[in-house]
Amino acid sequence: MSLTNFPGGCSSAPSTTPTTKVTMPALAEMKRQGKPISALTAYDYATSRLVDEAGIDLILVGDSLAMVVLGHENTLAITVDEMLHHTRAVRRAVRRALVVADMPFGSYHSSVAEGVANAVRFIKEAGAEAVKIEGPRVELVRALTAAEIPVVGHLGLTPQSVNRMGGFRVQARTAETVLQLKADALALAEAGAGVIVLEGVPREAAAAITAELPVPTIGIGAGPDCDGQILVFHDLLNLTFAPPAKFVRRYADAGALIHTAIEHYREDVEHRTFPSDEESYHLASAVREALDPAVKVQK
Ligand code: KIV
């Protein structure tokens, strides 16, 4: 883990971030070359640095932050201003990965013009390099592309549709809905989407779409045949408080690690073993001598 140059003086090994900047065309080239694309969500400066330095290709400032960071039940409540705030923090941290900002619910649903205006804010005010929108919004993708805003589409289980879907349910389980999903993905790509996230769909559907689509697919709960994979940062590290979905693989138990560390800190404070003398600042001896004996530091 490298925390070199963090404000606050943390230090560790030097950064190992691969230097070639990831761009939308670079992701297309990865698909052409059959190179898997790694993607992960991140929402703040410290974790984005870790994600970027680990060599992840695409960082999504997902609206999942409403749930995993802010404690909402679903993603619907988060606002454009809240998403901008987190996107700026991620942008400050990331050197290599492509930074994609999720457009929140309500920010592109009333009109194409409103969607473009809000997307411009993510590029201009927060430094995002692409925006992600949910659903087969072909006209909006066309308008964003015309406005020079790279687009990541998102199909299948689209969390902003939770009320219409009646819960977070796997989509495209019938032949008819698989064909509709494929048609939607092709239409988004034709309109200019450079990447399509496929979430919560059967492996076979994602594989068929990935094989036909000219742009990369990135799967989450969509099986191993997509061009890339994305997970939510907090799921990967067990920083959530609910049982994980079937598709989540826990790569570390950061929740347990943090819990234990904080308990040790509390115990040290309670036993007065933190901070130690070595962890304290000291007066110069001349200053110590000049002080009233009552306020002298005992050494
Ligand atoms: O908001 C999010 O984290 C997402 C990913 C699950 C793709 O949209």
Nearest CA to ligand 1 atom 2: 62
For ligand 1, whether the C-beta of 102 sits within 6 Å is yes
Q: pTM for the whole thing?
A: 0.92
Cα–ligand 1 centroid distance for 276 (angstroms) = 44
Cβ neighbours of residue 177 under 8 Å, at least 6 residues apart? 171
Contact 143, 115 (CB under 8 A): yes
Nearest CA to ligand 1 atom 1: 62
- 243 cis-preceded (ω within 30 degrees of 0): no
Which atom belonging to ligand 1 lies closest to the Cα atom of 218? 7
pLDDT for position 58: 98
User: What CA–CA distance (Å, rounded) separates 13 from 10?
Assistant: 10
In this model, does residue 1 exceed pLDDT 80? no
pLDDT for position 292: 74
For ligand 1, whether the C-beta of 222 sits within 6 Å is no
Which atom belonging to ligand 1 lies closest to the Cα atom of 102? 1
Does 139 qualify as catalytic in the annotation? no
Q: pLDDT digit string (tens) for 36-89?
A: 999 999 999 999 999 999 999 999 999 999 999 999 999 999 999 999 999 999
Beta bridge partners of residue 153, listed in sequence order? 133, 196
User: What CA–CA distance (Å, rounded) separates 182 from 204?
Assistant: 12
57 φ/ψ sector (left φ>0, alpha ψ -120 to 50, else beta): alpha
Which CATH number fits the domain 3-252, given the four candidates 3.40.50.300, 3.20.20.60, 3.30.930.10, 3.90.730.10?
3.20.20.60
Q: Where are the domains of the chain?
A: 3-252, 257-290
Tokens 């994600």 sit at which residue?
51
Q: How would residue 205 be classed by pLDDT, with cut points 50, 70 and 90? A: very high
For ligand 1, whether the C-beta of 63 sits within 6 Å is yes
